[in-house]
């Protein structure tokens, strides 16, 4: 029997570590956090120095019981949770649950799951870092205080079941502020003048590098070239370099994976976690760009053998951010000679992205040759600006050899000053200046990082949370068609014409919802500290100081809470109830008031008030998905009262198009068919609706793989949200993943039903031992209530 027990967070790496350590070591997983503050009450004794009460989470009771049994049989216990504040907190809770002394229990950390790293950690153990634990504890308690005290205020003043969070609310504010910047933006309209010079393969484009707003001035410029000749006024050449980027941090990995691979931050972290647990990359939650000297040597050795020693440029990257946590390394491969890795294509792509970035960081900068050709009329030589053509070629790629995927070079022809060139055309197009860009998930992470808000472990959960709460949606934005003036030189004439462009369209951007905007405005007005960028960054810095042992966590919380709680009390007493209501106008037909406001479930428009209608009820309609209360116009509001709209008939039943809580849909008889967000209920035609109905029928068929009867009860294999399950009357039984769902026969299913009912005594109606088991569990909770963990550090 093993005399050593090693406790890690994830079961995926347990077997690998156990293999490295040998038979005398038994490795078990805690499956993440095992304890937390209570769900149903605050769990913080504010008057007793913010002493928290931690409880073993219900889903981890069996895990803790298993760990306790294993701990009794072990001579030495090692805490091997992840090397960050969350890992330190998990280790502390494990010690507490197993009645171990955190100040003497062996704690090991490693940045990569390789044999050398694990053996080195075993040979150099430490004890739990209580400063790191207290930093995590302070964050958890502060976030609980904010959530438990702000949420009831939102319930009273806006609507029930709303919530607020310290970092999440700031993220929503960033999006709300940006959306209002975009709406308030008034573009400058300038003429962009482009000349196409030369013939066939020698043809290139040059642009006049000065903004012109006046059409008369544009015509005057075009009239200079009616002979379709343009002169080379100057040629400028210079050498340049392009340095490789430093290795990945959590933030830069999420941003690059989003732009290059299309992965969401959550998806990127899930894939990186799998690669780390498989021992393929180093720890993926880090804000450090530093690479260990041993790793740099291995990277340089790989570069030398793969490309040649002349490509090597060993570089020491230092993290300059003051907020960088703990002594982590960058994200890099554990073995640079492994060109590809991962158990599926998505993991492989991410691994290659990480490897190429790390390898390139230790290579020489690329050499570039940049050139400019200035063109105009000979008498314009002293007059600037000219038409300028810019070119760039890579003289020698160096680090680009590992990540060159496309040819971005612009090669200009060899020309001489004073040379006359044929001018194919000149085009002047009215071009608006660009509004501020909306945020993607990746660019929002970058902004949070730049503001010093959040840390590597919080970026992805923050973005997921604000979307789950309905404060933010990720969706496409419809543009608006606009017409612009164009002038072109054709032969000896200047021809005016117009072009139509769609302006403001976006894909896959984060947008604040109406409820998100209303909550944000309320917080900005009454609880400004919660959504203040600088204040939130200061709080993050204070957590860093606690982790470094420079600040007592109770002192930090006391200072925050005194000011915060008094503001909460003041807000409850003074703030008016908010509905987000906006009076749009008066209906010109009925002279009734049109109001846009938040409904119980979603934003809506209302026609008529109780004062205007007396005993009659107002009309209500859902606001179309791409509009908001702030952007709604009278015309678009009145159109919504035309819904539901009859599209036609199919199978002798009417088809109705309408807007609902989750977007546009078609109603056909008693069947509701959701439509993608890009569809407008006012324009959906009959053919589109019929196809959607038929598609839904096919999709519904594939949800049920098998249907049979057992002892008078209907049984089905049904596709659930995450996996297939066997429906036995009212009782769902999860299918084991030992074989494919379509391979299960009726006999296999009956065997599962018999096994399940024998174990749990549950009938098809869902009754039996399950209920009594719940009752027993409830009584057991009462008897073990004294075992709740109360701490004060």
Q: Among all residues, which ones are annotated catalytic?
A: 283
Cβ atoms 277, 12 nearer than 8 A: yes
* Exposed / middle / buried, residue 186 (Cβ in 10 Å: 0-12, 13-18, 19+): exposed
| Coil, strand or helix at 640 | helix
Tally of CA atoms within 13 A in the half-sphere of 6 that contains its CB: 28
Q: From the CA atom positions of the chain, what is the Rg in Å?
A: 33
CB 43 within 8 A of CB 788: no
State phi, psi for 659 to the nearest 5 degrees. Answer: -105, 140
What Å distances lie between residue 373 and 43, 191, 201, CA to CA?
Answer: 70, 21, 17
- Please list the residues that pair with 238 across neighbouring strands: 370
- The tokens for 458 are 């919080």
Listed residue (285, 349, 344, 294) closest to 316, CA to CA: 294
HSE-CB for 117 with a 13 A CA cutoff: 21
Q: Do strands 106-107 and 76-79 pair parallel, antiparallel, or not at all (unpaired)?
A: parallel
* DSSP letter (8 states) at residue 135: H
Q: Are 32 and 93 in contact (CB under 8 A)?
A: no
> Where does 440-552 have alpha helices with state H?
441-450, 459-468, 514-526, 533-547
In angstroms, the first-to-last Cα distance of the chain is 36
Round to whole Å and give the CA distance between 750 and 744.
10
Q: Which residues contact 547 (CB under 8 A, 6 or more apart)?
A: 85, 131, 132, 134, 135, 325, 326
> What size, in residues, is the chain?
793
Give the list of residues 6+ apart from residue 72 with CB closer than 8 angstroms, or none. Answer: none
Distances in Å between the alpha carbon of 428 and those of 195, 208, 386?
Answer: 9, 10, 15
With beta carbons less than 8 A apart as the criterion, state whether 18 and 25 touch. Answer: yes
Which residue shows structure tokens 């290579």? 363
Torsion angles phi and psi, residue 770, rounded to 5:
-60, -45
Dist. CA 139–CA 262, nearest whole Å: 31
Residue entry with tokens 């205080």: 145
Q: How far apart are CA 362 and CA 296, in angstroms?
A: 7
Count Cα neighbours of 322 within 13 Å in the Cβ-side half-sphere: 10
- At residue 328, φ and ψ (nearest 5 deg) are -90, 165
Q: How far is CA 389 from CA 194, 220, 426, 541, in A?
A: 10, 21, 14, 47
* CA 450 and chain centroid, separation: 16
Structure tokens at 63: 């895990």
**Read out DSSP for 701-729?**
HHHEEEEEEETTEEEEEEE-SSSEEEEET
């Amino acid at each position: 029997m093993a005399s050593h027990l090693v406790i890690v967070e994830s079961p995926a790496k347990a077997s690998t570590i156990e293999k490295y350590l040998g038979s005398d070591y038994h490795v078990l997983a805690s499956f993440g956090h095992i304890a937390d503050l209570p769900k149903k009450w605050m769990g913080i004794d504010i008057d007793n120095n913010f002493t928290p009460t931690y409880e073993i989470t219900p889903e981890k009771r069996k895990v803790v019981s298993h760990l306790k049994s294993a701990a009794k049989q072990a001579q030495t216990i090692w805490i091997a949770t992840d090397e960050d504040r969350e890992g330190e907190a998990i280790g502390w809770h494990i010690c507490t649950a197993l009645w171990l002394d955190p100040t003497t229990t062996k704690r090991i950390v490693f940045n990569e799951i390789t044999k050398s790293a694990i053996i080195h950690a075993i040979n150099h153990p430490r004890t739990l870092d209580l400063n790191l634990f207290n930093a995590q504890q302070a964050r958890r308690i502060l976030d609980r205080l904010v959530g438990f005290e702000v949420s009831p205020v939102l319930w009273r003043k806006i609507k029930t079941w709303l919530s607020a969070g310290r970092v999440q609310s700031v993220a929503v504010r960033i999006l709300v502020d940006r959306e209002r910047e975009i709406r308030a933006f008034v573009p400058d309209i300038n003429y962009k003048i482009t000349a196409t010079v030369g013939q066939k393969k020698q043809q290139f484009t040059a642009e006049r590098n000065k903004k012109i707003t006046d059409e008369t001035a544009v015509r005057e410029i075009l009239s200079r070239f009616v002979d379709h000749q343009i002169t080379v006024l100057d040629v400028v050449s210079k050498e340049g370099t392009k340095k490789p980027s430093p290795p990945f941090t959590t933030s830069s990995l999420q941003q690059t994976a989003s732009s290059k691979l299309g992965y969401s931050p959550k998806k990127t972290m899930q894939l990186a976690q799998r690669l780390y647990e498989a021992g393929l990359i180093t720890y993926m939650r880090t804000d450090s760009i530093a690479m260990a000297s041993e790793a740099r040597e291995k990277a340089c050795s790989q570069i030398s053998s793969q490309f040649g020693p002349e490509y090597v440029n060993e570089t020491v990257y230092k993290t300059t951010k003051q907020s960088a946590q703990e002594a982590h390394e960058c994200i890099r491969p554990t073995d640079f000679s492994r060109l590809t890795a991962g158990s599926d294509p998505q993991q492989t792509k991410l691994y290659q992205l990480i490897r190429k970035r790390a390898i390139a960081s230790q290579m020489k900068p690329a050499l570039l040759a940049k050139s400019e050709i200035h063109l105009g009329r000979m008498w314009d030589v002293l007059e600037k600006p000219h038409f300028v053509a810019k070119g760039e070629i890579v003289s020698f790629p160096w680090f680009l050899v590992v990540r060159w995927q496309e040819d971005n070079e612009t090669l200009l022809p060899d020309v001489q000053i004073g040379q006359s060139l044929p001018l194919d055309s000149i085009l002047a197009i009215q071009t608006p200046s660009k509004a501020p860009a909306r945020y993607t998930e990746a660019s929002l992470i970058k902004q949070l990082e730049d503001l010093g808000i959040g840390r590597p472990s919080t970026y992805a959960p923050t973005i997921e949370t604000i979307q789950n709460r309905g404060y933010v949606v990720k969706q496409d934005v419809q543009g608006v068609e606009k017409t612009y003036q164009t002038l072109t030189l054709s032969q000896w004439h200047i021809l005016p014409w117009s072009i139509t462009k769609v302006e403001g369209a976006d894909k896959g951007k984060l947008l604040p919802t109406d409820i998100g905007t209303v909550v944000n405005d309320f917080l900005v007005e009454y609880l400004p500290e919660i959504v203040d960028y600088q204040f939130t960054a200061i709080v993050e810095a204070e957590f860093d100081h606690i982790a470094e042992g420079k600040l007592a966590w109770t002192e930090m919380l006391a200072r925050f809470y005194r000011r915060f709680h008094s503001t909460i009390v003041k807000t409850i007493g003074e703030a008016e109830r908010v509905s987000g209501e906006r009076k749009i106008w008066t209906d010109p037909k009925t002279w009734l008031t049109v109001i846009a406001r938040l409904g119980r479930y979603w934003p809506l428009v209302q026609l008529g008030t109780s004062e205007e209608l007396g005993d009659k009820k107002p009309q209500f309609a859902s606001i179309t998905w791409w509009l908001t209360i702030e952007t709604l116009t009278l015309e678009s509001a009145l159109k919504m009262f035309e819904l539901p709209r009859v599209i036609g008939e199919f199978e002798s039943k009417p088809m109705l198009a309408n807007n609902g809580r989750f977007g546009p849909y078609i109603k056909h008889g008693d069947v509701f068919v959701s439509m993608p967000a890009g569809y407008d209920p006012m324009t959906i035609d009959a053919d589109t609706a019929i196809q959607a109905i038929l598609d839904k029928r096919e999709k519904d068929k594939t949800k049920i793989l098998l249907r049979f009867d057992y002892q008078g009860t209907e049984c089905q294999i049904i596709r659930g949200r995450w996996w297939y399950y066997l429906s036995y009357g009212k009782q769902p039984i999860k299918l084991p993943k030992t074989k494919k769902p379509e391979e299960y026969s009726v006999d296999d299913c009956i065997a599962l039903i018999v096994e399940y009912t024998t174990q749990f005594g549950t009938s098809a109606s869902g009754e039996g031992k399950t209920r009594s088991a719940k009752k027993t569990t409830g009584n057991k909770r009462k008897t073990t209530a004294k075992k709740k963990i109360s701490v004060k550090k």
